[in-house]
Amino acid sequence: MLIQTTAEAAPAIPSIIGAGLAVIGAGIGIGMIGGKAMEAIARQPEAYGKIQTAMLIAAALIEGIGFAAIFAG
């Protein structure tokens, strides 16, 4: 049947909540990285390339953790 009862769906609820919290954490982390990178670029405009590269690598790693949380949950 396509319709699940609450009792059938209940075991999946903790993993869904955990995956959601992990994705929220990843979003906050990426936002913080972006903000700090903008502050660093404002302080040292000549280091733009290095800061941007480090920011993108860190954001990709954090996003990967978010995806892993979704698929593991």
Contacts of 52 (CB under 8 A, 6+ apart): 37, 41
Q: What is the pLDDT of residues 36-63, one digit of tens each?
A: 999 999 999 999 999 999 999 999 999 9
Element spanning 67, H or E:
helix 48-72
pLDDT reading at 34 higher than 60: yes
- Residue 8: is its pLDDT beyond 90? no
Return the higher-pLDDT residue of 2 and 57. 57
User: Can you list the domains of the chain with their CATH numbers?
Assistant: 18-72 (1.20.20.10)
pLDDT at 2: 59
Confidence of residue 11 (pLDDT cuts 50, 70, 90): confident
pTM: 0.78
